Structure 1
Amino acid sequence: MDSLTQIVLGIVVAEVSAGKALRQRVFLYGAVLGTLPDLDVLIGKFFDPVDGVLLHRGISHSLLLFLLLSPILGWCISRIEKGVIGFRAASLVVFWCLFTHVLLDLFTSWGTQLFWPFPDRLALKTIFVIDPLYTLPLLIGLVMIWRTPNAILRAQYARRSLYFSSLYLLLSCGIKLYAVAQFEKALTAQKVLYEKLIVKPTAFNLILWNANVATEKGYLLGDYSLFDTQPIRFTTYPKNETLAKRLQHNPDFKKLQIISEGWYLLSQKSGKLYCNDLRFGLLNDDSKNPQFAFSYQFVTTPQGLKAIEVPKAKRDGKALLQKIFTRLQGN
């Protein structure tokens, strides 16, 4: 999830855990602990570009690390706040701030290696990485906590904000189940034999949903709005097995296969080779010249072919938002 949301969530969780003891200092500890797991993004900048992406939401988001860090950081906080909060209480604050960070990330599409060192990444794919309607109750709770000196009232505001934000996550799960049913119904009606189906929300909303469908020969991409009145339409993209054979021994390609969880599409344009992550959709509607939200170009270096992420221009994001706003109104 975005940094602002994780900071606010961390503060609210810290208030519930130890607000009575730490008072206004929950803002400092909650903000730091709420964003701590995402420091792997900064660490990743010292690695190869693809290795940096592979590192994100790995060990830094693992339950094992939290169990190891909680007593260490808890001891540090208890020493800093000597006589204010004990070791056990401080350790619990650390654990819950870190753990709720990852619980929220589980609802997004990226995937979180909660049970590292096991390689599986968990992703419910029910909410976009930025969703103002999830963050809003937490922000309101934070403002009320800041303005209220009474410890009992502060705790009530914190709990209520967590209740409402959690209800929104539950709502996202229910809407996703409905969207999945609509896609499955459309695939059955169109007599499409498919191997896998993933469904995820588009940016900033729970109204417009995207689907990736894996078939024997390629992929189908489609979208569905809760306001749609017309049947769901899918666009077909071939797998390009010939290009895959050219890269089958390339280390970066193997890493991108892991990162994309197998949902990738190889393409060639003007002699340049690209690996596109299908999980995050398209920036345009041109099936002959598709532009994906996350794409990696293979460039020739002295060490061989290396993958670098294709930078996204500001106009790409603006065009995508305009497309989403228009499409979510239904067809």
Structure 2
Amino acid sequence: MDSLSQITLGAAVSVACMGRRTAVWKAALVGAVAGTLPDLDALLDHGDPVRNMTLHRTESHALFWLTLAAPVLAFGVSRLLREAGQFRRWWLAVWLTLVTHPLLDLMTVYGTQLALPFTNHPFGVGSVFIIDPAYTLPLLLGTALTLARSRSVRAGGPGLGWNAAGLAVSTAYLAWGVAVQQHVRDLAEASLAQAGLRVERLLVTPAPLSTLVWRVVAITPADDAYHEGFYALADRGRPIRFERHPRGEALRAELQDLLSVERIAWFSHGFYRLREADGRAWITDLRMGQEPYYSFDFAVARRGEGGRWEPQVPEQVWGRVPIGPGLDWLGRRLTGRDVAPPR
């Protein structure tokens, strides 16, 4: 999730855990900082964009390593705040703040290797978009109201209930996303079967900023293609209209020795496409973005003498949906209008 969501989640979890044992602002500040720490791995440069992508959310997001780090950080916090007697409680607060970070990331489609060092599988539920105000705002509001009433809280008065309510609403929203995702998956499978398409892999993930519009990607090996469609809850069960795009799997054999290609194929769980353009080979992670705009699109090789592919240092090109047309399209889809996405 985005940094603001992680900061507000960390603050809310820490405040809920510490309760009246410390000042609300202290709990919120420690939670906000601890909730940010795992994402500092984004500052590391692993040598090329493909490695940077696939090595993000690794050890710093692993539940095992975060559990080992929690008592060390809690010891420092309790001493820094001169609350050594609250060490065990700070330990619990810091641990919960740290582990809820990758658990929230797990709900996005990106891929979080939270089971390291036992497996490097990139887990991703894909039921919430990386930025979703409906998730973040309840946390932000609940924590802000609790901070505003911090004097009353420390004196034994009400106020912590706002923080608890924010956590409850945001967690319920995540559950809602999982339920809607399964509903859309069922509709997508029915639409694809009706179209006579044999699907090898099926991706169902929210469109930007909401769980009311969903993007569906189906990999169909028989025709070496992927099919993209969109469904809004306002469509009320209307069959999903899919658009076919070539996947370029024939290039895979020519590029099979390239580590960058293998890493993206693994990290994307098979949701990738290959293409040749301007004498270069490109691989795209199909999970993040929509046609023809993708966040992770990499040039990985050039045509050399004799037509052979020569590996190159991966070069990333960012594709983003134009904000104006994108928001206009999203607004129309929210109302159930079956309009084509911006191209």
Fold agreement, TM-score > 0.5: yes
Secondary structure, in 3 states, of the residue corresponding to 1:265? strand
Q: Deviations over 1:52-100 (max 9, x none)?
A: 1111111111111111101111111122123465221111111000111
Q: Deviations over 1:243-286 (max 9, x none)?
A: 2222110121122222222210011223332211111232x4xx
After TM superposition, give the deviation of residue 319 of structure 1 in Å.
3.8
After superposition, the Cα gap between the structure-2 partners of 1:98 and 1:123, relative to the gap in structure 1 and judged at 3 Å, is: same
CA distance in 1 between counterparts of 2:43 and 2:22 reads 29
Q: Answer yes or no: is the 8 Å Cα contact 2:260–2:314 preserved in 1.
A: yes
After TM superposition, give the deviation of residue 300 of structure 1 in Å.
5.4
After TM superposition, give the deviation of residue 323 of structure 1 in Å.
3.0
Secondary structure, in 3 states, of the residue corresponding to 1:89? helix
1:328 aligns with 2:334: yes
Superposition pairs of residues 45-194 of structure 1, within 5 angstroms: 45=45, 47-83=47-83, 85-117=85-117, 118-148=119-149, 149-151=151-153, 152=156, 153-194=158-199
CA distance in 2 between counterparts of 1:158 and 1:97 reads 15
CA distance in 2 between counterparts of 1:242 and 1:192 reads 20
Q: In structure 1, which of residues 297, 300, 303 is the aligned counterpart of residue 299 of structure 2?
A: 297
CA distance in 2 between counterparts of 1:18 and 1:47 reads 41
Matched to 2:317, the amino acid is: V
Matched to 1:77, the amino acid is: V
Q: Answer yes or no: is the 8 Å Cα contact 2:294–2:318 preserved in 1.
A: no
Q: In structure 2, which of residues 206, 226, 231 is the aligned counterpart of residue 219 of structure 1?
A: 226
After superposition, the Cα gap between the structure-2 partners of 1:80 and 1:317, relative to the gap in structure 1 and judged at 3 Å, is: same
CA distance in 1 between counterparts of 2:20 and 2:225 reads 57
1:33 aligns with 2:34: yes
Q: Answer yes or no: is the 8 Å Cα contact 1:21–1:85 preserved in 2.
A: no
Matched to 2:52, the amino acid is: G
CA distance in 2 between counterparts of 1:213 and 1:306 reads 30
Matched with 2:205 is 200
After superposition, the Cα gap between the structure-2 partners of 1:83 and 1:244, relative to the gap in structure 1 and judged at 3 Å, is: closer
Q: Deviations over 1:188-213 (max 9, x none)?
A: 21222112212110100111111111
Matched with 1:287 is none
Secondary structure, in 3 states, of the residue corresponding to 2:335? coil
Q: Answer yes or no: is the 8 Å Cα contact 2:213–2:232 preserved in 1.
A: yes
Matched to 1:259, the amino acid is: F
Residues paired across the two proteins, number: 322
Normalized against structure 2, the TM-score is what? Answer: 0.87
CA distance in 2 between counterparts of 1:298 and 1:323 reads 33
CA distance in 2 between counterparts of 1:85 and 1:310 reads 52
Runs of 4+ in 1 over 4 A off after TM superposition: none
After TM superposition, give the deviation of residue 40 of structure 1 in Å.
0.9
Matched with 2:264 is 256
Further displaced range: 213-222 or 64-73? 213-222
Structure 2 residue runs without a partner (length 5+): 304-309, 339-343
Q: Answer yes or no: is the 8 Å Cα contact 2:295–2:318 preserved in 1.
A: no
Q: Answer yes or no: is the 8 Å Cα contact 2:50–2:264 preserved in 1.
A: yes
Q: Deviations over 1:294-324 (max 9, x none)?
A: 31123559x93222210346x7344433333
Further displaced range: 85-94 or 321-330? 321-330
Secondary structure, in 3 states, of the residue corresponding to 1:150? helix
